[in-house]
Amino acid sequence: MLVLGIESSCDETAAAVVQDGRIMRSNVVSSQIDVHSRYGGIVPEIASRKHIEAIAPAVCQALEDAGVALGAIEGIAVTQGPGLVGSLLVGLSTAKAIAFARGIPFVGVNHLEGHVAAVLLEDRTPEFPFTALVVSGGHTSIYRVRDLGHFELLGQTRDDAAGEAFDKAAKLLDIGYPGGIVIDRLARAGNRDWLAFPRAMKDSLDFSFSGLKTSLLINLKKRGCPYSEGELPHVAASYQEAIVDVLVEKTLRAAGNSGLSRIVVCGGVAANSRLRERFREECDRCGFEIYIPRPALCTDNAAMIAVAGTYLLERGESGSLEMNAYSRLPAGMPA
């Protein structure tokens, strides 16, 4: 089955063609980083307008890269939520228009379930059930995944997501956007023990990163001046390690509590080099199997949406033209 995937939940316009839910024929991503970097974060109205400009070229490029005509597409999968509603509606409207014109089914996909499905595009894939950490700019959650579409929430952030914690720290330090990428790069040359940052909610599987950001802010105020160029790598490494410690420890604890030996780590923050390194080290030490998609499949993309959508289409599901977008949409729950 050839499925066209469309993703526009935030600031990346993406389209992809996936065959049989496993073979990625194409994966096109049009980024808006340069547009939003001057503001230090995503401006929703601008993101929506940029999606309108980029969506048709992205779909055409995905079809061309896959070497297929639009007439060969048997179904469409599109992100329905969670995300920025204005951005989501651009992708959703495009999917509806193509499906209606071609007389083919389309399905709405949960963005978080798409991130988990990304691991199924790799050569080495986990068997169900497994524990999944979905960690991105807007989401930090741990799930027990029995199958695609069957998620049990084990823990979630109570305030900021891990990606937000990275971005807010980068803004406080005035080191650029997007914060996660900048901090990851700086931290490679830093001392992870240079500053002591808090690890919150140690007795829970839930997360809290707002106190970590506040700790950095208080530290800056006490100093009364910015960190020097030579100090920034140490600050970045210490701050990053505090986030990584919590993500790794709680995910492994959740897997152990659930009696599951397989762990999937996915979402944009899963592209972080230190997080990937620590998960591999700790899983090897503790006897867990770890599965992390390649970095290009961790960040927002349409191939992951096509994989999750293929599962729904093969079950006989089909969306209606009245389908709406949702800013909040828990994994495993229908809209």
- 2-117+297-314 belongs to CATH 3.40.50.300: no
Rounded Cα gap, residues 178 and 170, in angstroms: 8
Instruction: Return the structure tokens found at 38.
Output: 């001057």
The two domains 2-117+297-314 and 126-292 share their CATH topology (first three levels equal)? yes
> Which mean pLDDT values do the consecutive 10-residue runs of the chain (335 residues) have?
97 97 98 90 95 98 98 98 97 98 98 98 98 94 95 96 96 94 97 96 96 96 94 98 98 97 98 98 98 98 98 96 94 62
pLDDT of residue 137: 85
Whether the Cβ atoms of residue 273 and residue 230 lie closer than 8 Å to each other = no
Whether the Cβ atoms of residue 92 and residue 108 lie closer than 8 Å to each other = yes
pLDDT of residue 333: 56
Question: Domain ranges in the chain?
Answer: 2-117+297-314, 126-292
- pTM (two decimals): 0.95
Reference 289, options 54, 71, 126; nearest CA is 126
Whether the Cβ atoms of residue 270 and residue 297 lie closer than 8 Å to each other = no
pLDDT of residue 89: 98
CATH architecture of residue range(s) 126-292: 2-Layer Sandwich (3.30)
